[in-house]
Structure formats: structure tokens, C-alpha cells
Amino acid sequence: MKFIEGGVCAAQGFRANGVHCGIRKNKIKKDLALIVSDVPAAAAAVYTTNLVKGAPLLVTKKHLANGVAQAIICNSGNANTCNANGVEIAESMCELVSEVTGVPATDVVVASTGVIGQPLDITPIRRELPALVAGLTADHLGARAAADAIITTDTVAKEVAVEFTVGGKVCHLGGIAKGSGMIHPNMATMLVFITTDVAISAEMLGKALSGDIKKTFNMVSIDGDTSTNDMVTVLANGMAENEKIVAEGADFDTFMQALNSVNVALCRMLAGDGEGATKLLECKVTGAKCPHCAARVAKSVICSSLLKSAMFGADANWGRVLCAIGYSGADVDVNTIAVSFRSAKGTVVVCENGAGVPFSEEIAKEILLEKEIEILVDFGSGEASATAWGCDLTYDYVRINGDYRT
């Protein structure tokens, strides 16, 4: 397997584009994206667990009941959530895609992201959709345009793709994502769109996605807030012509590895581009008694506002790591805990057997001034491990969210 360019257009038979239609006030920023498969595709998705769900999620879930989709439309700048006519608008977006592309409206995934509680006007979408479709391309430019069109407070577009072999056939899998704030998944949050030319049944595609997000997107936290709108969707159109994956086995394992590689890469991009963030934080837990314990600890550490603040200030305040472990609810022996901080500048051990050890504050600060910081936690009591991703907490996070709506 190797990483390649192309994003959601890396897979055969997928075209994409993004334009500014007028939902967002800033005319420089794109706000409407479209991804289309040349043929109907197996489809699967996971959705936010927030009880308040955006209308697009309700419509998409209905459309994906048969495990088939052929297009994805997404707007940014307006979440189409908590609106009396939200479902009607979401359905209309799908119908407009059908009118221009010929894809059945029921085979369209619809998504929206942005401000909650503001009516979404279908007029600019209707006006610009023909141009959006006319500009669909199967190259990296189309994929990047779509990636640009789905972002909100993100500072960079997020896309990745891999090439791998299944049953002797060269296959591809790529994805784009948005998400900078309001990210604290439980099943899924943020918006992630994944495409692949692998031939796989909708049932196995769903199994792969639901299994992988437990150790990828469920392990990302920017600010502890779970969004109302966000989901992870994957389309597999089978154009690689491999023998269709309908059960577990070597081919399914290979597909899972490719999916995990793309998802981990997107997780790192999302965490590193958190609102106001200056650093990517990665907590790696090893030596735990069970996977569940490892995951709870890693997530608890990465969610700690106190630790996130310390990382912003390059302060090796390891006590905040132990504090987060202590309230995680995981079954751990605090007397065996070892903690280290690591970056491109080196590694500093700050805690052994649940107690502090002498270390150089100067060296620790140099390590923590880097853009990517690893928080290493070893329990020395088992074989289980887990990784979680987050970012530091800065002054700019408050500034961004203090005037996000206005």
C-alpha cells in the first residue's frame, strides 16, 4: 500500500467539484461540493449520536437504507438544523442533483455544515448546481475543490488517498474531511466522505466502517462538543473489478488496512487543525489490561482542558496526565504508570511508577515547543494499546467561537 494524490477522485469512476454558490458571505470561499460516481455504489455511513440531528442526516439515513448511493452533495455555511423546513430543503437538494446528473434522488447523500438554526435558502444551490456539475472532474483538482467547499473554520483542506491491491487488482481509496471545532465523536462527528473503487458488499462495507471508527474518529477530540450534523460516509463503486468482498478474509483485511490508513491520516489532520490550535497532540497508551481501558485513558487525556492548556504553554505538567487518567473510569493501577513526552526534539520521561522523576524543565520545554507532541502512557500491566488525537487549547479558540455566528 502507498499514499497517493487524488483524494476522493483517486478511485476509478469518481468525479468531484466545488464552487461558491452564495451561502457563505465570503465570495472567495467555496460553499457547495458534489461527488458523483459513474455507477451506483455500495454505501455505508455512521452518524452523530447527538439527539439533535440535522435534517440532512435524517434524509441521508433514509436514502442509504438500501445500501446504495451514487452522489454526495454538501454545503457549508449553514447546518440546515433546527429548521421547520429542513427535511424539505435537504430532499430538494437531492432532487436538484437528480435533475442535473440523472442520479436518482434517493441515491444521493446530502450533508450540510455551518451555523445551526438559520433557514437554508435553496435558491443559490439551484442557481449554481448546473455549473457545479459541468465542472466535475476525475482529477486532483476536482477532489481539492470539493475538499475546499466543505470546510468552515478549518484553516486547510483535508484530503488523502492510498493505492493497494486486492485479489490481484489495483485498488484505490481516498477521502476528504472537514472539522476544526465542535469535534468530540461518539460513533462519528465532523464530515468525512470516502470513496473507493473496491468491489465490496454494502454489508461488509458497513462492518468495515463501523469497526474502524472505534479506533479512529471516535478517538479524536478538539473541544468536547459533539456536533449535530456530522457523519462519515463511504461509497464503493466496484470499478477496480476485484472479486467482490462478501465475507471476512484476506481481501477484507487488506481493505480494512487501507481504510484505517486513510482514516488515521484524516484524524491527524482534523486534530492538528483544531480551532485556534498550534499543536497536534497524540496520546499513545500501551501496557493496558484491555483495549477498552486503553481507549478510555487515551481519550480522557486528550480531552483534558488543563493538559491541552499546558501543551499550549509548553509546560511539562505531567500531573495533569495522571489526573485525567484518574477520572477516566478505566480499571488501572496508578502505581505502575509511566509518562513521557516526545516530539521531533526528543523524549523526556516525567513519571515512573505513578510518581514524578527528576527531569530537565529546559529540555522538556524544547520538546513541547514542537508542532506535534506525543503523550506516552505505559501501564506495564497488559498488552492492550490505544491512540487518541487532539490539539492544544489556545486563546484563539475562545476568539473564534465567541463570534462564530455573528
d(CA 282, CA 262): 17
Q: Find the range with the poorest average confidence among 10-14, 218-222, 305-309.
A: 218-222
- Dig out the grid coordinates for 131 from the structure: 455549473
- Dig out the grid coordinates for 372 from the structure: 506535534
Q: Find the range with the poorest average confidence among 26-30, 319-323, 328-332.
A: 26-30
- Binned at pLDDT 50, 70 and 90, residue 179 comes out as confident
8 A C-beta contact, residue 148 and residue 140: no
- Binned at pLDDT 50, 70 and 90, residue 295 comes out as very high
Closest of 62, 54, 55 to residue 90, by C-alpha: 55
d(CA 106, CA 133): 18
Q: Summarize pLDDT for 122-144 with one digit per residue, the tens.
A: 999 999 999 999 999 999 999 99
Q: What are all long-range contacts of 85-93, with beta carbons under 8 Å and residues at least 24 apart?
A: 85/119, 86/54, 86/55, 86/56, 86/120, 87/55, 87/58, 87/59, 89/55, 89/120, 89/122, 90/55, 90/56, 90/58, 90/59, 91/59, 92/122, 93/56, 93/122, 93/125
Percentage of the chain modeled with pLDDT above 90: 81
pLDDT beyond 60 at 181: no
Closest of 353, 389, 349 to residue 263, by C-alpha: 389
8 A C-beta contact, residue 185 and residue 177: no
Tell me what the mean pLDDT of segment 186-211 comes to.
87
d(CA 197, CA 171): 6
User: What CATH fold (topology level) applies to the domain 2-272?
Assistant: L-amino peptidase D-ALA esterase/amidase (3.60.70)
pLDDT value of residue 229? 61
Closest of 99, 107, 105, 132 to residue 33, by C-alpha: 132
What's the Cα-to-Cα distance from 190 to each of 297, 360, 383, rounded to whole Å?
22, 39, 31
Domain ranges of the chain: 2-272, 280-402
- Binned at pLDDT 50, 70 and 90, residue 182 comes out as very low
Please state which CATH number belongs to domain 280-402: 3.10.20.340
Q: Summarize pLDDT for 251-274 with one digit per residue, the tens.
A: 999 999 999 999 999 999 998 887
d(CA 7, CA 208): 19
pLDDT beyond 50 at 405: yes
User: Active site residue: 113, 152, 189, 286, which one?
Assistant: 189
The separation between the first and the last C-alpha atoms of the chain, rounded to the nearest angstrom, is: 45
d(CA 231, CA 59): 12
d(CA 401, CA 181): 9
Count of C-beta atoms within a 10 Å radius of residue 243: 11
pLDDT value of residue 13? 98
Burial class (CB in 10 A: 0-12, 13-18, 19+), 139: middle
8 A C-beta contact, residue 342 and residue 373: yes
pLDDT value of residue 404? 57
Q: Summarize pLDDT for 32-86 with one digit per residue, the tens.
A: 999 999 999 999 999 877 777 789 999 999 999 999 999 999 999 999 988 999 9
Mean pLDDT score of the chain? 92
Residue 200 DSSP label: B
Tell me what the mean pLDDT of segment 302-328 comes to.
96
What's the Cα-to-Cα distance from 358 to each of 33, 261, 283, 349, 363, rounded to whole Å?
53, 38, 22, 9, 12
Closest of 222, 231, 160 to residue 190, by C-alpha: 231
Q: Find the range with the poorest average confidence among 120-124, 288-292, 371-375, 392-396.
A: 392-396
Tell me what the mean pLDDT of segment 6-26 comes to.
96
pTM: 0.90
Q: Summarize pLDDT for 217-255 with one digit per residue, the tens.
A: 889 886 554 555 678 999 999 999 999 999 999 999 999
Q: Find the range with the poorest average confidence among 45-49, 253-257, 282-286, 370-374.
A: 45-49
- Please give the distance of CA 336 from its chain centroid, rounded to a whole number: 33
8 A C-beta contact, residue 364 and residue 373: no
Tell me what the mean pLDDT of segment 92-121 comes to.
95
Higher-pLDDT residue of 144 and 28 is 144
pLDDT beyond 70 at 29: yes
Residue linked to cell 492510498: 162
d(CA 80, CA 177): 19
pLDDT beyond 80 at 212: yes
d(CA 153, CA 178): 9
pLDDT beyond 80 at 187: no
CB-hemisphere CA count at 13 Å for 361? 3
189 among known catalytic residues: yes
d(CA 392, CA 281): 7
